C-alpha cells in the first residue's frame, strides 16, 4: 500500500534515525573505499556500504552495486550488482536504473550481508507500551474497528495502527499513487475484496481487514512481515526475504511494531497457504 500524504510525515522520525545512521556508514565506507584519511580497505568499505544498504540507504546500495559492477576492490559480479542497483532504483535513484541496463535485470538472489541473522517464527512481545488509540482515534472509527476487527480475526490494535500509519484516521485520504481512504486501499485491492466505495469508512475498513487477515495467514502471524507487505507488497517481502531495504518501509514497520507491542499475531491457516518464501526468510545465514 502507498502511504498517504496525510500519513507520510508521521514516518519522518523513524526514517531520520535510519537515514542518519546510514549516512554515517556510507561516509565511512567512502573513506575506506578511496583511502581518504584512512588506509584503503575495499573489503571493509563493502561491508559498511552493505550495512547502510540494509538500512535502506539508496546511495549506499548504488555505491556497492558500482563496486561489484566494476570489480572495484571486490570480485566483479553482475548478479550482485543488479541486486543493489535494483534496490536503489526502486527508491527513485535514476542512476541505478541506468546501471541496470548495463548489468541486467533484478535478481532473486539476496546477498548474505543484506539479510538479518537467522529469523525465527515471530514470537513474544517487544519493548514499548503500544499506543492508546481510544484516546487519539475519532470515536466513530475506533468503534467501527473494535466491532469489525474481531469478525476478521484481526486484533483491533493492529488495524488501528495500520489506519493511523496509512491515513491518520482521514477517511478521505488520497495518495499520489491513488491509495484511498482510511486503510489506503489501491483500486486493485478494493476490487479484490469487493469494496465499492473506498471512502466509506465501513467498506474501507472491511477491505483492509480482509487483506490483513489474508496477510496474517500468508506470513504466519509475523507482524513485521505483514506490515512490510501492507506497505510495500507481499512480493517485495518475498524477493528480499524479509523487510525490504527501503527507508520508508523500515520506518513503517517499526512504527507498527511499537504500536502493536508484539511480533506475533494469531492467524487462521485456512485463510491462505503460507508464503513459500517463509522457509527462506527464516533460513540461517551461511557461516563465513
Catalytic site residues?
166
CB 136 within 8 A of CB 272: no
Q: What are residue 264's phi and psi, to 5 degrees?
A: -120, 145
Interatomic CA distance for residues 244 and 231, integer angstroms? 10
Interatomic CA distance for residues 274 and 280, integer angstroms? 12
How far from 23 is each of 59, 93, 247, 249, CA to CA, in Å?
Answer: 9, 16, 12, 17
Angle of helix 201-218 versus helix 156-167 axis, rounded to 10:
110
Region at 75 (left for phi over 0; alpha for psi -120 to 50; beta for the rest): beta
Interatomic CA distance for residues 99 and 97, integer angstroms? 5
Please count the CA atoms within 13 angstroms of the CA of 90 that sit on its side-chain side: 23
Interatomic CA distance for residues 202 and 145, integer angstroms? 9
Task: Please give the grid coordinates belonging to residue 119.
Answer: 529469523
Amino acid at each position: 500500500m502507498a502511504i498517504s500524504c496525510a500519513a507520510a510525515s508521521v514516518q519522518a522520525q523513524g526514517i531520520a534515525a535510519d537515514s542518519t545512521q546510514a549516512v554515517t556508514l556510507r561516509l565511512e565506507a567512502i573513506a575506506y573505499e578511496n583511502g581518504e584519511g584512512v588506509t584503503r580497505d575495499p573489503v571493509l568499505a563493502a561491508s559498511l556500504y552493505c550495512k547502510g544498504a540494509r538500512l535502506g540507504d539508496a546511495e549506499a546500495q548504488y555505491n556497492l552495486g558500482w563496486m561489484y559492477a566494476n570489480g572495484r576492490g571486490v570480485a566483479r559480479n553482475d548478479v550482485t550488482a543488479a541486486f543493489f542497483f535494483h534496490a536503489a532504483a526502486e527508491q527513485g535513484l535514476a542512476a541505478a536504473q541506468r546501471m541496470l541496463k548495463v548489468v541486467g535485470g533484478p535478481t532473486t538472489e539476496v546477498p548474505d550481508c543484506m539479510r538479518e541473522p537467522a529469523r525465527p517464527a515471530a514470537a513474544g512481545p517487544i519493548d514499548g507500551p503500544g499506543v492508546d488509540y481510544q484516546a487519539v482515534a475519532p470515536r466513530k472509527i475506533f468503534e467501527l474497528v473494535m466491532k469489525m476487527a474481531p469478525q476478521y480475526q484481526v486484533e483491533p490494535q493492529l488495524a488501528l495502527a495500520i489506519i493511523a500509519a496509512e491515513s491518520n484516521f482521514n477517511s478521505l485520504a488520497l495518495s499520489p499513487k491513488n491509495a484511498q481512504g482510511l486503510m489506503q486501499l489501491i483500486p486493485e485491492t478494493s476490487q479484490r475484496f469487493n469494496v465499492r466505495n473506498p471512502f466509506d469508512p465501513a467498506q474501507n475498513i472491511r477491505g483492509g481487514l480482509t487483506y490483513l487477515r489474508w496477510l496474517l495467514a500468508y506470513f504466519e502471524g509475523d507482524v513485521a512481515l505483514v506490515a512490510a507487505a501492507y506497505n510495500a507488497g507481499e512480493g517485495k517481502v518475498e524477493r528480499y526475504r524479509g523487510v525490504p531495504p527501503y527507508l520508508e518501509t523500515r520506518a513503517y514497520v517499526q512504527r507498527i511494531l511499537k504500536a502493536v507491542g508484539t511480533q506475533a499475531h494469531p492467524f487462521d491457516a485456512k485463510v491462505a497457504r503460507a508464503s513459500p518464501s517463509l522457509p527462506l526468510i527464516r533460513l540461517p545465514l551461511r557461516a563465513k
